[in-house]
Amino acid sequence: MEKRRFDRFDFQKSAQVFPVLPSKSGNIYEVQKDPIEAWVNDISEGGVRLEVVHSFASDALLKLNFELEKNKTVETYGKIVWSHDNHSGIHFMMADHRLRKDIKAIGRKNDI
User: pLDDT tens digits, residue range 13-56?
Assistant: 999 999 998 877 777 888 999 999 999 999 999 999 999 987 78
Is a pLDDT exceeding 60 seen at residue 101? yes
Using DSSP's 3-state secondary structure scheme, residue 99 falls into helix
Q: Distances from the Cα of 50 to the Cαs of 15, 63, 64, in angstroms? A: 9, 13, 10
For residue 80, is it within any domain? yes
Q: Which domain holds residue 104?
A: 9-111
Is a pLDDT exceeding 90 seen at residue 76? yes
Name the helix (H) or strand (E) containing 98: helix 97-111
- Domain tally for the chain? 1
Length of the chain: 112
Which range (34-38, 98-102, 108-112) has the least confidence?
108-112
Question: If pLDDT is split at 50, 70 and 90, which confidence band does 2 have?
Answer: low
CB within 8 A of 8, min separation 6: which ones?
A: 42, 43, 44, 49
Q: pTM of this prediction?
A: 0.85
For residue 3, is it within any domain? no
